[in-house]
Amino acid sequence: MKKLLLLLVLISQSVFGQETSNFKIENRDLVWQFIFETDLSQEELKQELSTKGIWESFEKVGDDLIGICSGMDADFKGAGYSEMSVPIYVARKSINFHSLIQFKDGRYRVTISNIKLIQKYDDGLTKQGVVWALSEIAVNKNGSFRKGFLKKPSEIYNYTFMKSLEIQQNKDTEEW
């Protein structure tokens, strides 16, 4: 019995330990969430984020920022992979999503939801413009992560979101 319990603990740690990619499942939908540290004010942060060029629309609602991103490509090369080494849905589809950015002193939390993949061009399998919810690929019928998603795809999408949403702060603007 103790061995079975230990085995279950190890299995759960290996599955949940892989959630370093900041993805989680909420009501069978895939959500990405991360808290970034910052010294910028909310207005400065909004300005910096708006210059990223990833939002189709971006507006302040109360104390939060809400944005819709379309046409972002997964940066599999930046994550250390080649096009031929990643699943076809990573390399041939752009990413659309909704974002919620919330502020507290010294940090901001980004929540990405409604993640859709859009086929970039016609190929032998899919026509340009076909849309898939990433949750259809990442979440199985039981409402847990598919093993294949927890490998390269979650790492690549996590890298892409982190790189796109983190604000690099220059402490000394005089130093090149």
Q: State yes or no: pLDDT of 161 exceeds 70.
A: yes
Q: What is the pLDDT of residue 32?
A: 97
pTM of the model: 0.81
- Give a yes or no: residue 57 inside a domain: yes
Q: What is the pLDDT of residue 170?
A: 56
- Give a yes or no: residue 173 inside a domain: no
- With cut-offs at 50, 70 and 90, classify the pLDDT of residue 7: very low
122: Cβ contacts below 8 Å, ≥ 6 apart: 128
Q: State yes or no: pLDDT of 74 exceeds 80.
A: yes
Q: Give the chain's largest Cα–Cα span.
A: 64
Q: What is the pLDDT of residue 11?
A: 42
Q: How many domains does the chain have?
A: 1
Q: State yes or no: pLDDT of 3 exceeds 80.
A: no
Q: State yes or no: pLDDT of 31 exceeds 60.
A: yes
Q: Which domain holds residue 134?
A: 21-165
- Give a yes or no: residue 74 inside a domain: yes
- Give a yes or no: residue 2 inside a domain: no
- Give a yes or no: residue 11 inside a domain: no
CATH number at residue 97: 3.30.530.80
Q: Torsions phi, psi of 81, nearest 5?
A: -120, 160
Which carries the bigger pLDDT value, residue 27 or residue 6? 27
Distances (CA, A) of 139 to 41, 55, 92, 93, 143: 37, 26, 20, 18, 6
- Give a yes or no: residue 30 inside a domain: yes
Q: State yes or no: pLDDT of 173 exceeds 90.
A: no
Expressed in angstroms, the distance from the first to the final Cα of the chain is: 62
The alpha carbons of the chain give a radius of gyration, in whole angstroms, of: 18
- Give a yes or no: residue 6 inside a domain: no
Q: State yes or no: pLDDT of 5 exceeds 80.
A: no
User: What are 84-109's pLDDT values in tens digits?
Assistant: 999 999 999 999 999 999 998 889 99
Chain mean pLDDT for the chain: 84
- Give a yes or no: residue 70 inside a domain: yes
Task: Indicate left, alpha or beta for 57 from its phi (over 0: left) and psi (-120 to 50: alpha).
Answer: beta
Give the lowest-confidence range in 8-12, 125-129, 153-157, 158-162: 8-12
Q: State yes or no: pLDDT of 125 exceeds 70.
A: yes
